[in-house]
Every structure is written in structure tokens, then in C-alpha cells.
Amino acid sequence: MRVDSDTLVLGIETSCDETAAALVMGGTDVISSVVSSQIDLHARFGGVVPEVAGRAHLEQITPVVREAIAAAGVDPRRIDAVACTVGPGLIGALLVGVSAAKALALAWEVPFVGVNHLEAHLYSAFLEDDSLEFPLVVLLVSGGHTLLIEMSDHGQYRLLGGTIDDAAGEAFDKVARYLDLGYPGGPAIDRAATEGDPEAIRFPRAMSDGGLDFSFSGLKTAVVNHVRRHPEVDSRDVAASFQAAVVDVLVDKTRRAAALVGATGIVLGGGVAANSALRRDLVAAGEADGRRVFLPGREMCTDNAAMIAAAGWHRLRDDGPSPLDLGAVPSMPILES
């Protein structure tokens, strides 16, 4: 099959708490993108409940796919391939999307392409700027992952560093929960921090010793200990100081990684990439070092299906379709993709 700028891919994403579908042409041109978030369903539990997520995906998948096709205004027969996240993610959630994608591919007699969710996050940058040049260093920060990756070409990844305990987004979520700021925690801390003093409390910057790995669980403990000792503290100052500690470490290590591999640019991806302080400081660091920093729009940073369709387009072009017996893979490292 010829895969070119006219190839229209339907992307499907159900790995966590967003049911999403999108139509993307040629790997870069987003024709439609629909995201149905389950945030309200999980909010009262303070986190994603896998069973609840699976059921909600089941209810949402058909209307979301239908809406993506309707919004694009195309005949389903025009769709050339169906790409879907096969991992990593929650097994019950992944299976809903994978089954739907295979069924549609079979019915329409078009190829099915299994996509690695983490690889797809890298592609959200290419959706907005396909002139990015390799090698790139990608900082992928989400609720489940904190990864520094060297991308030397499409599909060519080298893991430079990762978290040894909590993911960055997980730390945001846990600290927000402790401070009673609401769910999901990242945006809540981001908002509270705008009214707080980032220098009010000097929280530890873990593992700032030269390596490229991260650790956030000690920082979370430091926040808890500080609030216990100073119950009168303004939670906006805690939020701002905590955020400053996370951002300092993320920016510092990304900068070092970029220097190490001689990267032409730095790309940010994953839900935490929506964080205003991280965006601001990374851009400043890039300016200081003479490196291009690419920040996808906020809606492209959090889970969506346009990035799945974009990654699927590249997979299809480079490796061809996936076999229909490919299952969902709950833990799927990016290097195997």
C-alpha cells in the first residue's frame, strides 16, 4: 500500500481515561479530533478507576468515532487505515479501542495499525510542525511516565533517562490531593501556583548529580512533612514551590540531555507538558542554549487520537500494517515499539 500525503488515517485512543478518535491526513493534517474525557467520572475517587474506565470507553467509543467522521465530513469509505493504541495502558480500557479498531478495519477492508501510546505522544509535536530535524531530545512527562528520549529518526529511539519512582504527573496528582486542590492535580497545582510564591519554600531537587534519571517521591514526602510542621502555610505557596522544584529538575536534565546528544531541538510531550511553568522555563533554557524548543499546543499534550493517527501513519509507511491477532499490551516500553 502506498502511504503518502493523501493517506487518511482514523486514530483511536482508549488507553486511560480519554475516549478519543481523530482523522489525520498524511500524518500531519488534523481533519477532525474528538476527545471525550472521563475526568468527572473518576474525580470522586481521586484517580482513574480501571473498571469504571473500561465501561465508559465501551459506552463512548461508537459515538466518539461517529462524531470524528461526521466532523471531518468524509465518507467512511475514504478512510485508508485504522490506527489504535495497543499499549501501554489499562488492559480493560485498551481492549475496547483495539477491538473497535480491528472491527472497523475488517469491515472497511483497510489495514489496522497498532500504535505505542508513548511513541504517539512524541508525534504530537510533528502534528504541528513537520519541519523538526533530528536528532531531537524529547521530554515525555505524563501521569504514568517521565522519560528523556533521544529520537534520531522516525522510529529510532534511545532512552536517556527515566524516573526511578513516581512519574512527574503522578507527583502533581498526589501533592494536589494532599493539599486538597482538586482532581486532576496537575492543572489544579498549575492554577494555584500562579497565586503563590515559588521561592517561599526550598524543596529538594532530587538527583541533580549529573545523571539523567529522576526521582519525585522524596519531593512528595518533603511537601507532606513541611505542611505537617507548618499547618498554617498557604497552599498556593506550597503548590508554587513544589512546581518550581519539579520544573527545575525537568528543565535541568533535559538541557543536559540535549547537550549530551548534540540535539538540534527539544520537544515536550505528555500531559505535564501543559504546565505553564515548565513551558516557560524550557523555552528560556532553549533560548539560552541556542536550541529550538518545540511545545505542542496544550490540547495535543494530553491524551488525544490525532497523535495516534499521526504515529500510525508513520508506522504504516515504515513497517506496514499490524497483524489482526496483535493484542493489547498493558506494559509496553517505548524502545520495543
- Residue numbers at the binding site for Zn ion (CB under 5 A): 142, 303
CB nearer to Zn ion: pick between 38 and 142? 142
Stretch in the footprint of ligand KG4 (CB under 6 A) among 27-35, 50-58, 122-130, 186-194 = 186-194
Q: Is the dihedral of CA 175, 273, 157, 208 positive or negative?
A: negative
Question: What is each CA distance from 324 to 53, 86, 112, in whole angstroms?
Answer: 24, 12, 7
CA torsion 65-71-74-75 (nearest 10°) is: 50
Q: Among 119, 173, 237, 281, indicate the residue that binds ligand KG4 (CB under 6 A).
A: 173
Stretch in the footprint of ligand KG4 (CB under 6 A) among 72-80, 128-136, 202-210, 266-274 = 266-274
Q: For cell 487520537, name the residue.
A: 305
- Measured in whole angstroms, the distance separating CA 316 from the mean position of its chain's CA atoms is 21
Q: Among 275, 281, 293, 334, indicate the residue that binds ligand KG4 (CB under 6 A).
A: 275
Give yes or no for residue 146 binding ligand KG4 (CB under 6 A).
no
Give yes or no for residue 196 binding ligand KG4 (CB under 6 A).
no
Give yes or no for residue 142 binding ligand KG4 (CB under 6 A).
yes
Give yes or no for residue 321 binding ligand KG4 (CB under 6 A).
no
User: Can you tell me the distance from the alpha carbon of 186 to that of 167, in angstroms, rounded to the nearest whole number?
Assistant: 12
Q: Are 23 and 43 contacting, i.e. CB atoms less than 8 angstroms apart?
A: no
Q: Are 77 and 40 contacting, i.e. CB atoms less than 8 angstroms apart?
A: no
Q: Let me know the angle formed at the C-alpha of 220 by 216 and 221, rounded to the nearest 5 degrees.
A: 120
Give yes or no for residue 241 binding ligand KG4 (CB under 6 A).
no
Residue 143 near which of Zn ion, ligand KG4, none (CB within 5-8 Å, type-dependent): ligand KG4
List of residues contacting ligand KG4 (CB under 6 A): 16, 142-144, 169, 172-173, 184-187, 190, 270-272, 274-275, 302-303
